[in-house]
Structure 1
Amino acid sequence: MRCTILASGSKGNCTYITGSEGAILIDAGLSAKETLHRLTQTGCAPDAISAIIVTHEHVDHIIGLDVLARKLECPVYATGGTLEDFLCHRRTSDKPLATHVVRYDDPFVAGGFTITPFATSHDAAESCGFVIGENGTMFGYCTDTGIVTPHMLDQLRRCDGLVLESNHCPEMLANGPYPESLKRRIRSSRGHLSNPAAAAALRVLGKNVPQVILSHLSEINNTPDRARASAREGLGLFFEEKSLIVATQGGSTPDSPQEIRL
């Protein structure tokens, strides 16, 4: 299994997962044209994608979803709350689109993977993360959550690799240019995970998860160096045993791959 970050951040999120039988996308937060360009640029095969699984309905995760799913002729999988919001309030096309409702902690199969959604804590209709399994290998994806619950940790500690949000530095957020209302939203339990909160999760996960990608970094309220330093502190003695990658908005490139292989 291979995970390649195509984009990560407030301007768009999209991740390509490939395995022995096919591939899936997590989220479609770029335009369809840009997603296809980045897939080709990074050596990812668009024709192998058999499903798009969606974490939630915010625009930086679904802006290209409708057009991309129809271009790839693949179905969309998301929770009922996410699909209802997307189909009723955000989709503008009336062209046919195949959708499937998924439920928390109820595994489903797509692209040759067994995928288990789990609840995240975000100001969205019914947001989720995923544990994706194939041939005994497990991969976790957990972004856009204000907290990491014990149940989320139980799901993630069984993974061989993990994408985990590390959105903001609390000091940069407090002293930054955002209005106070937005600052409160970001740091709330239904907002985004801070660097210290991500580090605390990694401290608990310890040696169980050998590869980590830090994701969804704010370009205003964080820096890659701050996120990495905080995660390194959280991992402590386990840091040298791990592959730690910081994803960026630009995503993976041939010269700077942002991916893990499991």
Structure 2
Amino acid sequence: MEYSEILSNLFMNVVSSGSKGNSTIIWDDCDALVVDFGISVKRFKQRFEELNIGDIPLSVLITHEHSDHSSGLGAASRKMKAEIYLREKAKLKMGFDRAFTIGDELTIGNFFIRSVSVSHDAVDPVGYVIENRGRKISIFSDLGYFPMDNVDLIKGSDILAIEANHDTNMLKTGPYPESLKKRIMSNYGHLSNDQCALALGELSEQKSQIILLHLSDENNTQEIAYLTVRDFLDNRNIKYKGIECARQLYGSSIFEV
């Protein structure tokens, strides 16, 4: 039997993405991984049931301790019996004793997970490169600049979910105080649309489905983020499968890898 014929189904859905809460589900026939749990258990359960994932073990991987990525952890652990995985410094910062400590690598069922350090104003923030029997999903949100020294690790991803937080001109001319503008544009802040496009220029391939994450309500729009990334890639003849903006209220499409 060919290897491709014995692969189980692999799916991904961004439940919510933005400053008011973030959560993404990746699942196969045996396990469900959740990257970040910054939404209510009620909302998460509703989406989980809509996806008809079934009664399989739930593991939550946190990128960093900020509340829009971690506020639902306690309830997820108590009410959904989820196993929680945190970097050691984030675990200490949050005082969440029920979490397991994640290092650079972790295996859960058919999933092989690498945590990649990123630059953000948190104690030990990470992005995740998640592989499942030859298929790869990379998720990077909340970072001041992209870790290009990890291009070889990330390249070849079937799904590239990367932050496109703000349009630089909108941010500079917008209503935020100067201190907040500087924080967002710093190396410990958030990726702009242009920075996201530059990273994708190094990472994207013909098979890559691109999902733009964590769009700012005040300093970005779906149209601007989409067109900035699309035009950058198209003008350089860089291939991709598709581009979609994940949303705060409605998340993303359901992707099968």
Normalised by the length of structure 1, the TM-score is 0.89
- Alignment-derived partner of residue 40 in structure 2: 31
C-alpha spacing 1:8/1:224, structure 2 compared with 1 (3 Å): same
Provide the rounded CA distance (Å) in 1 between the counterparts of 2:19 and 2:94.
18
Find 1:45's aligned residue among 53, 68, 78: 53
- Residue 50 of structure 1, CA deviation: 2.3
Q: Is the 8 A contact 1:119 1:152 kept in 2?
A: no
Give SS of 1:56's match.
coil
- Alignment-derived partner of residue 250 in structure 1: 249
- Alignment-derived partner of residue 200 in structure 1: 198
For residues 100-249 of structure 1, what are the structure 2 equivalents within 5 Å? 100-103=100-103, 106-207=104-205, 210-236=208-234, 237-239=237-239, 241-249=240-248
- Residue 138 of structure 1, CA deviation: 1.0
Give SS of 2:238's match.
helix
Provide the rounded CA distance (Å) in 2 between the counterparts of 1:115 and 1:30.
23
Q: Which runs of 4+ in 1 moved over 3 A?
A: none
Across the aligned residues of Structure 1 and Structure 2, the Cα RMSD in angstroms comes to 1.7
Provide the rounded CA distance (Å) in 1 between the counterparts of 2:207 and 2:182.
31
- Alignment-derived partner of residue 12 in structure 2: 3
Provide the rounded CA distance (Å) in 2 between the counterparts of 1:82 and 1:46.
30
1:13 is the counterpart of 2:22: yes
- Residue 81 of structure 1, CA deviation: 1.3
Long gaps (5+) in structure 2: 1-9
Long gaps (5+) in structure 1: 92-96
- Residue 9 of structure 1, CA deviation: 0.1
Provide the rounded CA distance (Å) in 1 between the counterparts of 2:71 and 2:83.
16
Provide the rounded CA distance (Å) in 2 between the counterparts of 1:21 and 1:151.
33
Letter in 1 for 2:101: V
Provide the rounded CA distance (Å) in 2 between the counterparts of 1:190 and 1:209.
31
Q: Is the 8 A contact 2:37 2:69 kept in 1?
A: yes
Q: Is the 8 A contact 1:9 1:215 kept in 2?
A: yes
Normalised by the length of structure 2, the TM-score is 0.90
**What is the number of equivalent residue pairs in this alignment?**
246
Identity %, equivalent residues: 34
Find 1:60's aligned residue among 55, 65, 68: 68
Q: Is the 8 A contact 2:156 2:208 kept in 1?
A: no
- The worse-fitting range, judged by mean Cα deviation, of 15-24 and 214-223 is 15-24
Q: Is the 8 A contact 1:29 1:61 kept in 2?
A: yes
- Residue 65 of structure 1, CA deviation: 0.8
Letter in 2 for 1:19: D
